Every structure is written in structure tokens, then in C-alpha cells.
């Protein structure tokens, strides 16, 4: 009986420890689940707040081409079938455009943000970035289209040269060879000028969007957010360069954008010159940007 009692006590002690361990593990598991649910709820709440802010800005700027109802976090947008989110099978691996760090991209029903930025800024800190992006995407859209045409001008000029070459190919001996050499050199030059112009013009337009956004939200507010991004190391690796490769397999022509340092310096210029734009004049400034010449933003 003594051995049986001892064995029973050992079994009871083991069962008791096992029960306490399982309860502890259960508590930790439920806590982890609860923490995960809270993180998810926080992220969802932040996304909804960002979405609400974006729609407020869209209304304030009287923009009709965007009506987002969701926030998406992705590095690029695939080439899709018209009016769908279905990628074009033949264009697999190609992207319509990338989503730069520090900027947002808009479709009719989505606000699209770079995942590197997720959780790094509060929804309120997203406001000045959303304002600048919406000005660039919507209010300066006509200017961007004009810049695109200007960037293609070298190819148009060179194309006229090639047309003239084929027109005189059989009529004037000796001239076609000279024209062929000239047009070939012109084609190479057109590629260089095309790449330089497209990136330079889009970069200047983005800087101008920052300047106009600072008139709406306050220069110091936008500058402070950009400085926070810089301190967090949120760097756009494709920003600043006017030459070389951009985002891989991107079909976006107007892909130039300034670095964080250039954006901050651009905001400091008007203040140092005493030329900061007041909030009461922002509509006038936007109208001038839509109808006037190319910006002369300091960089």
C-alpha cells in the first residue's frame, strides 16, 4: 500500500504540473492571438483613417477622377485588362508603374502605398504626402501629359528625318548615305534626350507639387514628415537619378522623382526667400500650375 500511495502521489503531482503548464501555454497562446488581432485591427483602423483623409483631400481639391474605397500596400502596379484588376497574361513580368517611397499612387477605387512605409507614419503624418501626391496625380495631370509630348519630340523630329531619307532614297545619289548616318546619330541622341527630359520634367513637377502642398498643409508640417522619413531610412532608391535604369520592367515614362534631400531643400528655398505661399492663395496657385508654363522650382 505504501508503494501504491507513493505512485499515486507522483502521478497526481505530474498531472497537476501538466495541467498548470497547459493552462500557461493556453494563456500565452490566447494572448498572442489577441495581440495579433489587435495589430490587425490597428492596421485596419490606420488604413481606414488614411482612406478617410485621402477622400477629404480629394473633395477639397475638387478631384473627380478618383473615388477610393480601399488602401493597398504594394511596390508596383501590374499591367491589367481594361477596367479590371486582372493582369494581362502576355505582359507577365511587366509593370505599369511602381509606387515610390514617400508618394502614393491612385486608381479609381484605391489608394496605393509602398509597403516599406507601412506602420512607419501615423495617418495624420500621411496627410501632407497624400496632398502632394494628389496634386501631382490629378491637378498636374495636364502638365504631365504636355511634358510627355515634349519628351517624345526628339523622336518625332528624327522620324521626319527618316521619312525624308526614304523619300529621296532613289532620287538623289549620295544624299541617302549622308542622311542615313545623320538619322542614325539623331536616333541615339533622341533616346538620350527622351530619357533625360522625361525624368527631369516629372521630377520638377513633383517638386512643384510639394511646394503647392506646403501651401495647403503648412510648410513645416510637410518638411517635418520628410525629415522623419529621412531619419527612419525610408529612401527611394530610384529617386534623384536622371540617367541609368529605373524601376525594373516599368512602363512609366514620367518616372523621375526627387530625393528626400531635394524635397526638403525645395521647401527651404521659398522660406529663405520669403516667398512662402499662404493658404488663402492655394486655388490660384493650382490654377496657374495647370495653365501656365513649366515650373521653375528650386532644387
**Average pLDDT of the chain, as a whole number:** 74
Cell readout for 230 is 529621412
Mean pLDDT of 264-286: 59
Q: What three-state secondary structure class fits 106?
A: strand
pLDDT tens profile 81-118: 666 666 666 566 677 788 999 999 999 999 999 999 99
What nine digits make up the cell of 186?
539623331
More confident residue, 149 or 252: 149
Tell me, what's the pLDDT at 237?
Answer: 83
State the pLDDT at residue 248.
Answer: 54
**pTM assigned to the model:** 0.70
Cβ–Cβ < 8 Å for 139, 168: no
The answer on pLDDT for 13 being more than 70 is no
Rounded CA separation 48/130 (Å): 14
Q: β-pairing, 110-113 with 104-106?
A: antiparallel
Q: Is the pLDDT of residue 280 over 90?
A: no
- CA–CA distance from 46 to each of 74, 144, 149, 270 (Å)? 16, 31, 39, 33
Residue 279 contacts residue 131 (beta carbons within 8 Å): no
**Which position has the grid cell 494572448?**
31
If one compares 277 and 137, the residue with the highest pLDDT of the two is 137
pLDDT in tens, 142-162: 888 887 888 778 778 777 777
d(CA 275, CA 278): 9
Asked whether residue 16 carries a pLDDT value surpassing 90, the answer given is: no
pLDDT at 268: 87
Beta-carbon contacts of 190 under 8 Å, excluding residues fewer than 6 positions away, are 154, 155, 157, 158
Strand 70-73 relative to strand 110-113: parallel, antiparallel, unpaired? parallel
What pLDDT, on a 0 to 100 scale, did the predictor assign at position 78? 79
Amino acid at each position: 500500500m505504501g508503494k501504491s500511495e507513493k505512485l499515486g502521489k507522483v502521478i497526481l503531482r505530474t498531472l497537476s504540473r501538466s495541467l498548470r503548464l497547459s493552462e500557461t501555454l493556453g494563456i500565452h497562446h490566447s494572448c498572442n492571438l489577441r495581440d495579433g488581432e489587435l495589430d490587425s485591427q490597428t492596421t485596419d483602423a490606420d488604413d481606414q483613417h488614411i482612406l478617410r483623409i485621402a477622400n477629404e483631400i480629394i473633395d477639397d481639391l475638387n478631384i473627380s477622377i478618383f473615388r477610393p474605397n480601399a488602401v493597398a500596400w504594394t511596390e508596383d502596379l501590374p499591367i491589367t485588362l481594361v477596367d479590371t484588376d486582372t493582369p494581362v497574361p502576355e505582359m507577365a513580368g511587366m509593370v505599369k508603374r511602381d509606387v515610390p517611397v514617400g508618394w502614393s499612387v491612385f486608381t479609381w477605387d484605391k489608394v496605393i502605398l509602398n509597403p516599406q512605409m507601412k506602420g512607419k507614419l501615423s495617418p495624420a503624418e500621411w496627410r501632407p504626402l497624400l496632398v502632394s501626391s494628389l496634386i501631382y496625380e490629378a491637378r498636374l495631370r495636364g502638365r504631365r501629359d504636355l511634358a510627355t509630348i515634349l519628351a517624345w519630340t526628339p523622336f518625332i523630329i528624327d522620324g521626319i528625318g527618316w521619312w525624308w531619307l526614304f523619300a529621296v532614297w532613289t532620287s538623289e545619289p549620295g544624299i541617302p548615305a549622308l542622311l542615313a548616318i545623320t538619322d542614325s546619330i539623331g536616333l541615339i541622341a533622341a533616346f538620350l534626350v527622351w530619357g533625360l527630359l522625361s525624368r527631369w520634367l516629372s521630377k520638377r513637377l513633383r517638386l512643384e507639387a510639394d511646394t503647392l502642398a506646403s501651401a495647403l498643409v503648412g510648410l513645416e508640417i510637410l518638411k517635418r514628415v520628410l525629415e522623419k522619413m529621412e531619419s527612419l531610412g525610408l529612401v527611394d532608391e530610384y529617386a534623384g537619378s536622371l540617367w541609368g535604369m529605373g524601376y525594373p520592367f516599368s512602363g512609366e515614362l514620367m518616372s523621375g522623382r526627387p530625393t528626400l534631400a531635394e524635397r526638403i531643400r525645395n521647401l527651404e528655398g521659398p522660406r529663405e526667400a520669403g516667398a512662402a505661399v499662404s493658404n488663402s492663395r492655394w486655388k490660384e496657385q493650382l490654377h496657374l500650375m495647370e495653365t501656365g508654363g513649366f515650373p521653375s522650382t528650386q532644387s
